[in-house]
Every structure is written in structure tokens, then in C-alpha cells.
């Protein structure tokens, strides 16, 4: 077991901790809305696809184990877990079996704020709660120990920014993310996504019980749509413009901005299918897209959301002395100047994929 060695190679991109105004806990309403949309699909998939062996659950040493990977600090993870438990209880009821005890493993990077997560555990929970520190691109659990694995909106975080074949740190210097405009950059990002997904799927295939269900909720791009043409892409464009402004004013170094890349890749649905198929450990039992209602975000919420997500990677790259208050107030100003933010004609939407997987038997 080389859990810790593999984990050492993986970069942490924790969401903002605590529960202050810039925290992920206070800035995750977008994900919450999407999770609500996922609720019904998850319940249905558990009812239809989860295999429960009645014999194993009459054994008292077999609690039902659920993992939420990349859980951050709540409250969305508690919502997702509650939904899964209710669906599992219905399933047990439908086969006239008493519900087992539930044990839930909340996983995220070791840099995640587990103290806040633990302190905000719902007081009405009906499960034993545990925290598991470490990257989900490495083994995290004993073999065949999980019945349901859930992961939402986390697999677009790569384990690392893909390296250029040459030595240049600034191989994607025009942009701070994978816009989709340069084939070379997109290929490098997709290559990293594939390598990461292989690590992820191989680890999970060992950890899930036979008959268990894995539910992945992932951002995806519609075919032939570039990331830069989506609302999420727009937020990174905005951020990049503000960083360049700060570099021009000499507040931060130009080279630092050119070498900064957000380690995110948003695949298309076909790319996700291709990667899962090539990996060969899992088969897709069901795949669908979630309702993605129009945004009702205010300017403030839009920037708050962006900040909760990327402030960690920014501080990591630019150092703690970087004035992120200034950066995000610049973003807010620039956003207000541009009047087309919520113009659906101009900015396309991501797709939210909901994929259910079982191991190849």
C-alpha cells in the first residue's frame, strides 16, 4: 500500500475553509442547486442498480459504508449523504430487510479544513461520521469496503497542471486556464485528465464492494463548445484580466501571471465515456445530464463563488503576500463594467453529468 507516497505527488487545491464570508461553506449555492437536481437521479439509481446481498447485511459486522470524495467542508456533502442514506433505506425496506448501520467517510485533501467540517456535522445525523484525509487520485480505503462512492464537482480538479514537454514555465502564457482555443494546450490538459482518471478509477475499483455503486457528478462541455465560451470560462477570463492588470501596475510579476495555470479540465461527455471505457475497470450503468437552471447569481455571489474556489491555488502560486482582497474587488468592478454577464446568448452553459458506475465483473 503506497497511499502516502502517491498522495505526496498530488497537489492540494482546498476550497476556502472556515465559515466566514469568503468560505466555501458560504459560497456554494451553485453546487447546492445542482445537487438538488441530482437527488432524484441518485435515488433512482440506488433503487435500480445497487445490489444488496441480504446475507451480508444480516451479519452485524457489515455496516453500510458510504464515501463522499472531495467533500470540502459542507453543507453540500451532508445533503448528498442524507439523500444517499434515505435512498438506501428505501431499498432495504423494499426487500423487507432491516436497515443496517451507516458509516460515512468524508474525504478531501489533507489541507482541507476538517475541523470546520466536523464541527458542522448535522446534529440529527443517523450515521457514524469519519474523515479521511488524502487525494482521491490514490488509494484511500481498504479493499471491498465501500458500498456507495459519491463524488460531485471535484474531478475537474487535476492532480497537477500538465507539464510542457519543453522547459518553459509559460507554455500557456496567454491564459490562466485551458480555454480550448489551443489544441496543444487542450491535448496536454486532456492527457493529464486521462492519467488522473485512471488513478482514480483503479483505486476505486479495489475499494468498492461487488455490486456497489459509484456516482460521479461532473461538469462537462457540450460537444464543440470551448470552455472559454461558458460562464465558468468567463469567470476565469475575468480573473486572468485582473491578474494581468495587477502585473501591468507592477503589483505582481508578469512572469508569475504567465506561468499561472488553474489545474482544471472540463471534458465533454464523449471524453468522459472514452476514458472510462479505456480504463476497463468500471462500466457505465446509467448516464444523464442534470437540469441546469438559469443562474440567479448576483455580481457579489458570482465573485464570491469564484473566490471560494480559486483563492487557494492563487495563494499557492503567488504566495501569501498576494493581496487577494484587491484582486477580487478588481474582479467585481470589472464584472459590473461588463453588462453582458448573464446574457445566455453569449455565454453557454456547462452540462452537469450524472454518471453511475459499477465494476466490471
Q: Which residues bind a copy of itself (CB under 8 A)?
A: 1, 3-5, 8, 60-61, 63, 100-101, 103, 105, 110-111, 113-115, 118-119, 121-134, 139-145, 209
Q: In the complex, what is the shortest distance from the CB of residue 217 to a copy of itself, in angstroms, rounded to a whole number?
A: 24
For residue 309, count CB atoms less than 10 angstroms from its CB and return exposed for 0-12, middle for 13-18, buried for 19 or more.
Answer: buried
Nearer to a copy of itself, 90 or 130 (CB): 130
Cβ proximity to a copy of itself, 126 vs 163, nearer residue? 126
Identify which of residues 1 and 95 has a Cβ nearer to a copy of itself in the complex. 1
Residue with Cβ nearer a copy of itself (40 or 206): 206
6 vs 324 by CB, closer to a copy of itself: 6
> Are residues 312 and 16 in contact, defined by beta-carbon separation less than 8 angstroms?
yes
CA dist 269 and 290 (Å) reads 13
Smallest separation (angstroms) from a copy of itself to the CB of 133: 4
Contact 205, 344 (CB under 8 A): no
**Of the two residues 18 and 288, which places its CB atom closer to a copy of itself in the complex?**
18
Give the Å distances, CA to CA, from 102 to 61, 99, 116, 126.
Answer: 11, 9, 22, 7
Q: Which helix or strand (DSSP H or E) is residue 51 part of?
A: none
Cβ 124 to a copy of itself shortest distance, Å: 7
Are the C-beta atoms of 76 and 116 separated by less than 8 Å?
no
d(CA 128, CA 330): 44
CB of 141 to a copy of itself, least distance (A): 6
Q: Three-state SS across 135-170?
A: CCCCCCCCCCCEEEEEEECCCCECCCCCCCCCCCCC
Residue 151 CB, nearest distance to a copy of itself (Å)?
A: 17
Instruction: Report which of 94, 99, 90 is spatially closest to residue 126, judged by C-alpha positions.
Output: 99
Tell me how crowded residue 12 is: count the other CB atoms within 10 A of its CB. 18
The least distance separating a copy of itself from the CB of residue 103, rounded to whole angstroms, comes to 5
Amino acid at each position: 500500500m503506497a497511499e502516502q507516497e502517491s498522495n505526496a505527488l498530488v497537489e492540494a487545491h482546498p476550497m476556502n475553509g472556515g465559515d466566514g464570508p469568503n468560505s466555501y461553506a458560504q459560497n456554494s449555492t451553485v453546487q447546492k442547486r445542482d445537487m438538488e437536481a441530482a437527488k432524484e437521479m441518485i435515488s433512482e439509481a440506488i433503487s435500480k442498480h445497487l445490489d444488496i446481498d441480504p446475507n451480508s447485511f444480516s451479519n452485524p459486522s457489515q455496516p453500510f459504508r458510504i464515501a463522499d470524495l472531495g467533500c470540502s467542508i459542507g453543507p453540500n456533502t451532508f445533503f448528498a449523504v442524507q439523500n444517499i442514506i434515505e435512498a438506501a433505506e428505501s431499498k432495504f425496506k423494499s426487500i423487507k430487510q432491516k436497515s443496517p448501520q451507516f458509516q460515512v467517510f468524508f474525504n478531501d485533501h489533507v489541507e482541507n479544513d476538517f475541523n470546520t467540517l466536523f464541527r458542522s456535522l448535522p446534529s440529527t445525523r443517523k450515521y457514524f461520521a469519519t474523515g479521511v484525509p488524502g487525494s482521491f487520485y490514490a488509494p484511500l480505503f481498504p479493499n471491498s469496503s465501500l458500498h456507495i462512492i459519491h463524488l460531485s464537482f471535484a474531478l475537474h480538479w487535476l492532480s497537477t497542471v500538465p507539464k510542457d514537454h519543453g522547459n518553459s514555465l509559460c507554455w500557456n502564457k496567454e491564459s490562466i486556464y485551458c480555454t480550448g482555443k489551443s489544441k496543444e494546450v487542450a491535448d496536454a490538459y486532456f492527457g493529464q485528465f486521462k492519467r488522473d482518471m485512471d488513478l482514480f478509477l483503479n483505486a476505486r475499483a479495489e475499494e468498492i464492494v461487488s455490486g456497489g455503486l459509484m456516482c460521479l457528478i461532473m461538469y462537462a462541455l457540450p460537444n464543440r463548445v470551448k470552455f472559454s465560451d461558458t460562464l465558468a470560462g468567463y469567470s476565469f477570463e475575468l480573473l486572468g484580466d485582473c491578474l494581468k492588470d495587477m502585473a501591468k501596475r507592477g503589483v505582481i510579476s508578469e512572469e508569475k501571471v504567465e506561468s499561472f495555470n488553474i489545474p482544471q479540465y472540463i471534458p465533454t461527455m464523449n471524453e468522459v465515456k472514452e476514458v472510462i471505457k479505456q480504463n476497463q475497470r468500471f462500466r457505465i450503468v446509467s448516464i444523464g445530464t442534470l437540469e441546469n437552471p438559469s443562474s440567479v447569481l448576483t455580481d457579489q455571489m458570482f465573485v464570491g463563488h469564484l473566490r471560494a474556489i480559486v483563492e487557494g491555488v492563487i495563494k499557492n502560486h503567488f504566495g501569501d503576500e498576494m493581496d487577494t482582497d484587491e484582486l477580487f474587488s478588481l474582479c467585481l468592478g470589472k464584472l459590473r463594467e461588463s453588462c453582458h454577464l448573464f446574457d445566455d446568448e453569449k455565454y453557454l452553459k456547462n452540462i452537469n453529468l450524472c454518471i453511475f458506475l459499477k465494476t466490471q465483473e
